[in-house]
C-alpha cells in the first residue's frame, strides 16, 4: 500500500478501518456524475485572466487589475443578465458528499487539493456557501494545507480523513482539506464552495505529508483507471469515472501522451490553424485545465488568430484581446497527435465587456508570463476528454456527440 494511504490508515486506525480498503464501491465500478449549472453572472474577461494568473502564481499587472475592476463583474447580482445568453460563460459545479454534508465543488484538473469551506471558518465567511462540517475525531493530526497565490490571496486550513462520495463511489478515507481562513477574494466568489483537484497528486499542498487526490484514491477500484470530462457549451456537462461513454462522442478518440513531471495533464501540440487556413507547425506545450475558463496561447499564435478577426485589438483598458461582438469568429484548430482538434469560433466569444455592450472579450488570450499554454474550458468544451492513468498517462480527445 502506498505510504500516503498507509499514513491515513494509521491515523484513523482507531476507527477500525485498518486493513480495509479506503474505497467502497456501490454496485458498479464505474459511474457518471452530472453537473449542475451555476447561476449565470455577468462575467468580466479581465477578471478571468486575473484569476488564472493568480492560480499559476504569476504577478498580476496593475493595468490588468484595473481593467478587472471596471466593467461588469460577477459580485453584483445572481440574476440572468439582460444580454443574449450565448455571450456569457457558464461555470459548473458538481455535488460531492463530504462527511455528512453535500457541497458543490469545482472539479479542477489543474490542481490537486480537495479543499472546501468549512465549519472552522467564521460564520461571516460562510454566507452564501455550503460548507463541510468537520468531525474532530477524523482530524489528520499535524497536517495543514495552504494555497497561496501570486498576489498574496490564498486559503489554508487543517486536514481530515473523511468519507467522500462522488456519484456511485465512496472513498471512506479521503483527505478533505477544511479551510480555517480564506482571503476575501474567495468569500466574495459565490461560485466556489471549494475545489476537487484532479491533477496528479504531486501538486497536493498538504504538509508534512502530501495527500492523494480523490481520483488517485479510487482509481484502482474503478472498472478502468480513467475519468472522462464533458464540458458543454452553455449547458450542464458530466464527469464519467471508470468508463468511456460511447454515446457522448463521435468519430475516433485521439490519444496523446501526458508529461506528468510538473504535475499537470501536460502535452505538446504540434501546430495550429485559424479557420480554413493552412496548418502552421509550432510546438505548443500546455496543460488541459478544467479550472481555467479561457484558452491561453503563445503570443504569435494569438496574434495569428486575431489577424483574422476584423476590428480586434489587444486592449489595455479591457485587459486582453477584444473585438466587436458582431464579429464572426473563425474556428481555431490545435494539431494534437497528428489530428485536428477544432474549437468552434462561436466558443471563442467569451462575453461582452460591458452589459449590453458591443465589444466582446476573447476566449483566446496570450499566455505571457505563465510559462506554458493553458487549454482551458474554451478548448475542452467541444470535446469528450479522457484522462487515463497508467505507466504513461494519456489524454484522449474526441468530438462531442
| Beta carbon nearer to ligand NAG, 66 or 401 | 66
| Beta carbon nearer to ligand NAG, 99 or 225 | 99
Closest CA to 38 of 297, 377, 380, 400: 377
354 binds ligand NAG (CB under 6 A): no
The three-class DSSP label of residue 234 is coil
Query: Count of CB atoms within 10 A of residue 260's CB?
Result: 15
22 binds ligand NAG (CB under 6 A): no
Between β-strands 139-148 and 36-37, what pairing exists: parallel, antiparallel or unpaired? Answer: unpaired
Between β-strands 320-324 and 359-362, what pairing exists: parallel, antiparallel or unpaired? Answer: antiparallel
What is 88-138 written as a DSSP string? S---EEEEEEETTEEEEEEEETT---EEE-BTTS-GGG-TT---B---GGG
Task: State in angstroms the smallest separation of the CB of 184 from ligand NAG.
Answer: 11
Task: State in angstroms the smallest separation of the CB of 130 from ligand NAG.
Answer: 13
Residues 113-152 that bind ligand NAG (CB under 6 A): 133, 135
Q: Which residue has the cell 475558463?
A: 293
108 is a catalytic site residue: yes
Query: Count of H helices and E strands in the chain?
Result: 7, 26
Grid coordinates of 78: 445572481
Q: Of 108, 130, 216, 377, which one is the catalytic site residue?
A: 108
Q: Which residue is nearest to ligand NAG (CB)?
A: 135
Task: State in angstroms the smallest separation of the CB of 220 from ligand NAG.
Answer: 28
Which stretch of DSSP H or E encloses residue 46? helix 45-55
Distance separating the N- and C-terminal Cα atoms of the chain: 39
| Beta carbon nearer to ligand NAG, 90 or 205 | 90
24 binds ligand NAG (CB under 6 A): no
Task: State in angstroms the smallest separation of the CB of 65 from ligand NAG.
Answer: 13
Query: How many residues does the structure list for the chain?
Result: 401
| Beta carbon nearer to ligand NAG, 19 or 84 | 84
193 is a catalytic site residue: no
Taking residues 62 to 81 in sequence order and writing x for each that binds ligand NAG by CB under 6 A, - otherwise, the string is: --------xx-x-xxx-x--
Task: State in angstroms the smallest separation of the CB of 77 from ligand NAG.
Answer: 4
Q: DSSP strand E in 128-214: where? A: 139-148, 154-166, 169-182, 194-197
Task: State in angstroms the smallest separation of the CB of 355 from ligand NAG.
Answer: 9
Give Rg (Cα) of the chain. Answer: 21
Closest CA to 117 of 181, 163, 166, 173: 181
Q: Of 289, 331, 367, 377, which one is the catalytic site residue?
A: 289
| Beta carbon nearer to ligand NAG, 34 or 139 | 139
Write out the residues near ligand NAG by the rule CB under 6 A: 70-71, 73, 75-77, 79, 99-100, 133, 135
Residues marked as catalytic: 108, 289
Amino acid at each position: 500500500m502506498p505510504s500516503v494511504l498507509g499514513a491515513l490508515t494509521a491515523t484513523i486506525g482507531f476507527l477500525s478501518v485498518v486493513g480495509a480498503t479506503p474505497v467502497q464501491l456501490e454496485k458498479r465500478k464505474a459511474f457518471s456524475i452530472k453537473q449542475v449549472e451555476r447561476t449565470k453572472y455577468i462575467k468580466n474577461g479581465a477578471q478571468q485572466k486575473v484569476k488564472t494568473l493568480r492560480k499559476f502564481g504569476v504577478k498580476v499587472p496593475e493595468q490588468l487589475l484595473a481593467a478587472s475592476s471596471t466593467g461588469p463583474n460577477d459580485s453584483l447580482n445572481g440574476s440572468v443578465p439582460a444580454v443574449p445568453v450565448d455571450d456569457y460563460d457558464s461555470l459548473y459545479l458538481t455535488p460531492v458528499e463530504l462527511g455528512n454534508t453535500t457541497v458543490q465543488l469545482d472539479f479542477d484538473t489543474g490542481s490537486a487539493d480537495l479543499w472546501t469551506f468549512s465549519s472552522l471558518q467564521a460564520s461571516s465567511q460562510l454566507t452564501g456557501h455550503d460548507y463541510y462540517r468537520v468531525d474532530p475525531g477524523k482530524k489528520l493530526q499535524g497536517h495543514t494545507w495552504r494555497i497561496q497565490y501570486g498576489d498574496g490571496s490564498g486559503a489554508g486550513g487543517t486536514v481530515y480523513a473523511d468519507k467522500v462520495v462522488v456519484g456511485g463511489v465512496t472513498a471512506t478515507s479521503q483527505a478533505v482539506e477544511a479551510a480555517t481562513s480564506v482571503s476575501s477574494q474567495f468569500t466574495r466568489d459565490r461560485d466556489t464552495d471549494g475545489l476537487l483537484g484532479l491533477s496528479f497528486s504531486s501538486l497536493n499542498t498538504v504538509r508534512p505529508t502530501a495527500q492523494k487526490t480523490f481520483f488517485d484514491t479510487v482509481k484502482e477500484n474503478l472498472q478502468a483507471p480513467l475519468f472522462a470530462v464533458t464540458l458543454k457549451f452553455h449547458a450542464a456537462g458530466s464527469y464519467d469515472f471508470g468508463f468511456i461513454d460511447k454515446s457522448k462522442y463521435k468519430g475516433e478518440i485521439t490519444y496523446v501522451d501526458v508529461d506528468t513531471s510538473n504535475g499537470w495533464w501536460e502535452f505538446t501540440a504540434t501546430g495550429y490553424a485559424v479557420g480554413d487556413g493552412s496548418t502552421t507547425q509550432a510546438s505548443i506545450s500546455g496543460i488541459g485545465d478544467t479550472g481555467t475558463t479561457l484558452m491561453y496561447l503563445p503570443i504569435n499564435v494569438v496574434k495569428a488568430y486575431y489577424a483574422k478577426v476584423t476590428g480586434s485589438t489587444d486592449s489595455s483598458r479591457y485587459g486582453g484581446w477584444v473585438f466587436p461582438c458582431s464579429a464572426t469568429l473563425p474556428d481555431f484548430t490545435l494539431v494534437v497527435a497528428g489530428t485536428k482538434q477544432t474549437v468552434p469560433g462561436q466558443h471563442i466569444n467569451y462575453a461582452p465587456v460591458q452589459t449590453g455592450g458591443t465589444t466582446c472579450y476573447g476566449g483566446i488570450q496570450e499566455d505571457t508570463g505563465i510559462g506554458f499554454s493553458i487549454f482551458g474550458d474554451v478548448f475542452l468544451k467541444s470535446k469528450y476528454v479522457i484522462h487515463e492513468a497508467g505507466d504513461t498517462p494519456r489524454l484522449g480527445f474526441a468530438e462531442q456527440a
